[in-house]
Amino acid sequence: MLRLYNTLGRKKQNFKPLKNKKVGLYTCGPTVYWYAHIGNLRTYIFNDILKRVLEYNKYKVKHIMNITDVGHLTSDADVGEDKIELRAKKEKKTAWQIAEFYTKAFQRDIKALNIKSPDKWIKATNTIKEQIDLIKLLEKKGYTYQIEDGVYFNTLKIKDYGKLTGSKKRNLKPGARIKMVKGKKNPTDFALWKFAPKGVQRQMEWKSPWGKGFPGWHTECVAIGIKHLGIPFDIHTGAIDLIPTHHTNEIAQAEAGYNKDLAKFWLHAEYLILKQRNPKGQAYGARMAKSKGNIITINSLIKKQINPLAFRYLCLQTNYRSKLTFSWKSLKSAENALENLYEKSSKILDAHRQTPPQLKTQSYKKEFLSYINDDLNIPKALALMWKLIKTNRASYDLLLEFDKIFGLNLNKIKKPKIPEKIKKLSQQREKYRKEKNFKKSDQIRREIEKQGYTIEDTPQGPTIK
């Protein structure tokens, strides 16, 4: 039985889809005003692992992801500029150009990380009608009010507002993330529709029954999720920072408009923490965030000639509900482990071709399934794979079976073709070694290494890598 930690229930629960073997999966997508950083992308790797585990359990997954290309303001308190429009001013482009450029950049990033694309990408700007219809429904049911800068949702009318946070008390007060916009009735009330500022010509604005403007950030996912997956749907995912505002406000709208849960399971990935040092040399961890200016992108890795899948491997080593501390040292260690895995897999593939193993794999598959079905315990599943490799019990087919979850492209491993020049140098070196002319054999070793190859001496003879 697949068990998942449901944030809504604060515990692991047996997962059973609403419709037989079909699963509706909704992933909160990026706000496309800048490049995604590896902290963001850790969440999408978690989403990908979840999807792979569902498919491994023979579920047919319908996966929807939104693209926020309007309505996400610089503050969660419904104040500030739209992030897309602000970036457009900085780059001297249109808001539409900014959204398109960074959408494509995000899609390149997830491809580099071998993350499966959703069945549908849905832009917020393509669902303005659906969002307006949702707001009209909420207005009809008495959950909205209008003030000078927009139409707001009255959270006081939802008795269990904030239940996703696990708190039963309404002790939220105005602060850094929750401020009192002039005219708001309650600190937690949020904008459904924002009016275009007077005297300001926005690039993205639409007509509505309440006036020209644009939708609030929290409405798009409700409208998109219901349109494409129905209500309720099975699973809603995102990063942990979306719990207190974005996801809480999605739940409130669905409950008010339809008297139903938006989703049955809510899964959240923890932060990626960047290991840093202060001026005194003391180590500390800081959450990676664009607002802090401490981001690392996939392009940063590529420029350092680091395989992006090394970052994926690093993420596999920690459960999605635990903080992941990132350092260049830990990434290098993950890259070495990944290269070692490719090398071992290549050797196993060669042995498999010569003499297919008679290994009974069913017990190992069962153990593997027990780990991944225990709230995606990928670190244990990864450890099982290495245990089999080290004890020479892993077949190539078994590695490919495991990699359906890991997504490390083991199926694309090919034995590297060693140039004849390098082979001849290796043979010449071996001749000098047998003659105990170590000075010349070392010279040849250095020459081989200059060409980008290494030699490993084994009891069976030298191996070129």
Q: What is the pLDDT of residue 353?
A: 65
**Mean per-residue pLDDT, 400-417:** 89
Q: Percent of the chain at pLDDT above 90? A: 71
The amino acid occupying position 225 is: G
**Mean per-residue pLDDT, 334-360:** 82
Q: Is 212 exposed, middle or buried (0-12, 13-18, 19+ CB in 10 A)?
A: exposed
| Beta pairing partners, 11 | 6
Rounded-to-integer distance, Cα 123 and Cα 213, Å: 17
- pLDDT tens column, 204-237: 999 999 999 999 999 999 999 999 999 999 999 9
172: pLDDT strictly greater than 60: no
CATH of 17-269, one of 3.40.50.1360, 3.30.230.10, 3.90.550.10, 3.40.50.620: 3.40.50.620
Q: What is the pLDDT of residue 351?
A: 78
The boundaries of every CATH 3.40.50.620 domain in the chain are 17-269
The residue with greater pLDDT, 246 or 415, is 246
Residues 6+ apart with CB under 8 A from 29: 65, 66, 67, 68, 121
Least confident of 121-130, 330-339, 380-389, 438-447: 438-447
Q: What is the pLDDT of residue 177?
A: 45
Rounded-to-integer distance, Cα 123 and Cα 235, Å: 20
The residue with greater pLDDT, 368 or 181, is 368
CB 94 within 8 A of CB 104: no
**pTM of the model as a whole:** 0.87
**Mean per-residue pLDDT, 270-285:** 71
